[in-house]
């Protein structure tokens, strides 16, 4: 059963009215406090997954700027990349385009003792590719038929699948795109694909509805994360993730750090023989 320490109980406690702004957004101090507690629980979860050889696949989907990358960053911030790794596959090569559609995703699936975070996934086909006409209607229909069976097969093999859809309103997406456009350090995040996605907002809604109609299955259901408030969406998603995988606190006890072993035969070369970085700060 899941660990019910005082920290875990604190994480489960809802935020009071004083922790929200007049506009209904979560205040920074409360967000940072809860995020730290949730990240402590994620560390416990990773040790449990590694110790018991679990295979966990977490899929993050949604519109551009909906907050997928933000929550992935917070999940992986305190965890080990050897246990919790992120997969964000690039555009398929010419060779990959001739393969069975799911083939290039299979090598990225988790092995025993791993949690894999998919920053977008095979659902590109039923969302981005369908909206932008990057696939044929026949390919789209074949995906909708095959995907549920593929995921059922993964679940039967022992892989734990969690699928999160980050839902953002048209107005909030527009606000975030404008904010990126106004700040030079973030402008690289705003691509031509993002602009097309914003223009085709309604068609993306149609794609999402169709995707859910076929792939919201009992063995691997979709969980929708309202994400107009980034702070709330991150906390809610991580809290839900932790609730879906029973775990206990198996974090190892502190270890004894050994003293340096002296070697009298070692003579350090003169420091003047080394080239140092200029000390500007």
Given a cut of 50, whether residue 6 has pLDDT beyond it is no
Cα–Cα nearest to 133, from 64, 70, 196: 196
What pLDDT score was predicted for residue 274? 95
Domain 6-251 falls under CATH 3.30.1330.80: no
Query: pLDDT tier at 8 (50, 70, 90 boundaries)?
Result: low
Given a cut of 80, whether residue 9 has pLDDT beyond it is no
Does the predicted TM-score (pTM) go above 0.85? yes
For the chain, the domains span: 6-251
Alpha helices in 77-118 (DSSP H): 94-97
User: Sheet harboring 114-119: ordered strands across?
Assistant: 84-87, 114-119, 55-62, 159-167, 222-226
What pLDDT score was predicted for residue 22? 82
Mind listing the pLDDT tens digit for each residue in 83-121? 999 999 999 999 999 999 999 999 999 999 999 999 999
Query: pLDDT tier at 10 (50, 70, 90 boundaries)?
Result: low
Task: DSSP for 212-248, please give it.
Answer: HHHH--SSS-EEEEE-SSHHHHHHHHHHHHHHHS---
Given a cut of 90, whether residue 208 has pLDDT beyond it is yes
CA distance 82 to 204: 35
Given a cut of 70, whether residue 71 has pLDDT beyond it is yes
Mind listing the pLDDT tens digit for each residue in 239-278? 999 999 999 999 999 999 999 999 989 999 999 999 999 9
Extract the tokens encoding 263.
């070697």
């Amino acid at each position: 059963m899941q660990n019910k320490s005082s920290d875990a109980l604190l994480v489960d406690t809802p935020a009071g009215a004083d922790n929200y702004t007049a506009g209904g957004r979560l205040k920074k101090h409360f967000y940072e406090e809860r995020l730290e507690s949730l990240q402590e629980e994620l560390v416990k979860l990773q040790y449990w997954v590694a110790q018991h050889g679990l295979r966990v696949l977490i899929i993050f989907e949604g519109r551009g700027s909906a907050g997928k990358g933000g929550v992935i960053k917070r999940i992986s911030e305190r965890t080990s990349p050897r246990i919790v790794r992120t997969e964000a596959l690039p555009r398929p090569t010419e060779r990959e385009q001739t393969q069975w559609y799911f083939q290039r995703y299979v090598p990225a699936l988790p092995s025993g003792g791993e949690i894999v975070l998919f920053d977008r996934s095979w659902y590109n086909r039923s969302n981005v590719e369908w909206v932008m006409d990057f696939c044929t209607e026949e390919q789209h229909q074949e995906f909708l038929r095959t995907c549920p069976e593929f995921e059922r097969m993964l679940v039967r093999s022992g892989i734990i699948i969690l699928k999160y859809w980050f839902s953002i309103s048209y107005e909030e997406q527009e606000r975030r795109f404008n904010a990126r456009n106004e700040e030079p350090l973030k402008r690289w995040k705003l691509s031509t694909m993002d602009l097309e996605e914003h223009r085709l907002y309604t068609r993306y809604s149609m794609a999402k509805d169709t995707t859910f109609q076929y792939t919201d299955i009992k063995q691997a259901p979709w969980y929708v994360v309202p994400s107009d408030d980034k702070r709330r969406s991150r906390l809610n998603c991580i809290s839900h993730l932790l609730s879906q995988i029973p775990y206990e606190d198996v974090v190892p006890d502190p270890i004894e750090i050994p003293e340096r072993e002296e070697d009298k035969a070692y003579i350090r070369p003169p420091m003047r023989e080394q080239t140092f970085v200029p000390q500007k700060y």
